[in-house]
Amino acid sequence: MKLKTRLAYIFKKELTPYSITILSIGFIFILALIAYFSINSFRLIELLSKMKFEFLFLLITGFFLYSFKYDILNTTITFNAFIIYISNIILYLNLNLKDGILLFNYNVVVLILFFIFTYFILQIVFYAFLRRLSIYKISIIFIRIFLWTLLIISFNYLVYLFKIDIFNLNLNNILFVIIAIFAHGFIKTFFSFLESSIQKKYLDFFGKVLMSFFVDSVFILFSILLGSIYQKIDILNMAFFISFLAIVISLFRYVSSKSFENILYHKLTSIINFSYYSKDNVLPHYPLDYKIEISQIIDQSINYLTFVVIKFNNTDEISAFFNNNIFKKINFSVVKSNCVFTVIPSKKSEYFKLIQDIFNYSEKNCVEKPKMCYFNARRKIWKNIDVDYILKVLINKLKNNKKNSENIIEVMHSYIFS
């Protein structure tokens, strides 16, 4: 039954005309890459035999760093830019620079393109192994293979065009670095828009692009500086250096993971009346030694945190709503000028009744019916909740559904977390 439901969801929700187009283009591009590797198979095998340890080390390092993904300002930050640009310098530029001048040839780019291809295709295998593979993820990975192939070829062409000696950088090359970073940002912005189109999420798009541009710029600069001294420190010393980087990142992630749920707890306590749902009303806050877990504080009979936004027509209706609040267990807060927000812990059998009761109460003092939007966060995803982002999504849904005849709109889990 689960398989049948999953297939029905894929064909109804994921296999849209847009995603089918992306998959088709991506599949054709993958076939073109395979044909390219076949045509240059002798050169590829020769380069792989010569650089097998470097290739394997970079691949393992890439997957290790890939596990460190962060959401900064609702933007997923990965280390793709760092590992791919490092790989480009080691697997391509290092082999094709003669007296500091790049001998650019599309046929000898084969090893770095094979690395990009392998790196992302293995991600599909990884998601399939964990049973987390979806049409959306395959589409995104296809886009990224296309994106990084284009980015690396463009970067290498700029190195060739400006005659940059990547291993002997000087202040005169700062212009090249700026051009390379902006070229990277321009191309990636276009492909980021494609990813947002697949998700049908345009909220905070420009903010995400700016954050991604800033992070990638740092990674590109860092990888160029590190790659430029590669000939002087060899692969073993580079391994120690990247291991040190990974340890620092691990420490940062440990500290941030300890603090994240504490921050989430204090955000929710400003809205949820915990005296009705928890034995402990006040908990200590020690960022490194104690982690507050929402799922352990709230009674186990509670299955959902239901995020609700109600949009009124004017401030008088909001005032009337607050003055006659009959829901003693529920705290409401005003956001924007015409929206009310709350979070309600609820059981599976009662959350929709609560939603309906709140809506019925809110429309008593309204000339026109208010609009309501809600999202049910299941207990197992409470650790990944971003309260501010969910609030923005709900408000945006209400804002963009003016012509929708529905007064109560549910936002699905796949929309928030896809």
DSSP string, 123-164: HHHHHHHTT---HHHHHHHHHHHHHHHHHHHHHHHHHHHTT-
Whole-angstrom distance, CA of residue 33 vs CA of residue 30: 5
Q: Which range among 4-13, 114-123, 218-227, 274-283 has the greatest average pLDDT?
A: 114-123
- What does the pLDDT look like over 198-216, one tens digit per residue? 656 655 566 667 777 777 8
In the predicted model, what is the mean pLDDT of residues 234-255?
66
Query: Cα separations (Å) of 145 from 135, 244, 310, 400?
Result: 15, 28, 42, 33
Nearest to 76 by CA among 191, 181, 203, 211: 211
Return the pLDDT at 150.
92
In the predicted model, what is the mean pLDDT of residues 258-263?
64
Predicted confidence (pLDDT) at residue 140 exceeds the cutoff of 50: yes
Is residue 91 within 8 Å of residue 115, measured between CB atoms? yes
Of residues 156 and 302, which shows the higher confidence score?
Answer: 156
In the predicted model, what is the mean pLDDT of residues 89-95?
87
Return the pLDDT at 386.
78
Residues in contact with 231: Cβ distance below 8 Å, sequence separation at least 6, in sequence order: 94, 167
Residue 334, SS3 per DSSP? strand
β-partners of residue 377 are: 305
Return the pLDDT at 73.
46
Predicted confidence (pLDDT) at residue 274 exceeds the cutoff of 80: no
**Confidence band, pLDDT 50/70/90 cuts, at residue 40:** very high
Whole-angstrom distance, CA of residue 152 vs CA of residue 351: 50
Predicted confidence (pLDDT) at residue 284 exceeds the cutoff of 50: no
Whole-angstrom distance, CA of residue 242 vs CA of residue 226: 10
- Rg for the chain (alpha carbons), in Å? 26
Enter the tokens of residue 32.
Answer: 């073109």
Is residue 71 within 8 Å of residue 78, measured between CB atoms? no
**Confidence band, pLDDT 50/70/90 cuts, at residue 237:** low
Residues found in the chain: 418
Instruction: Specify the range with the lowest mean pLDDT, choosing from 88-102, 208-222, 277-291.
Output: 277-291
Whole-angstrom distance, CA of residue 230 vs CA of residue 165: 13
Return the pLDDT at 325.
67
Nearest to 315 by CA among 244, 365, 264, 256: 365
Nearest to 327 by CA among 313, 301, 308, 302: 308
Nearest to 220 by CA among 249, 179, 177: 177
Q: In percent, how much of the chain has pLDDT > 70?
A: 72
Of residues 21 and 121, which shows the higher confidence score?
Answer: 121
Of residues 253 and 355, which shows the higher confidence score?
Answer: 355
Enter the tokens of residue 350.
Answer: 């009662």
Q: Which range among 2-16, 153-167, 250-264, 283-297 has the greatest average pLDDT?
A: 153-167
Nearest to 302 by CA among 244, 354, 248: 354
Nearest to 388 by CA among 267, 223, 252: 267
Q: pTM for the whole thing?
A: 0.64
Single-letter code of the amino acid located at 234: D
Question: Which letter does DSSP use for residue 67 in this model?
Answer: T
Whole-angstrom distance, CA of residue 98 vs CA of residue 349: 71
Of residues 96 and 130, which shows the higher confidence score?
Answer: 96
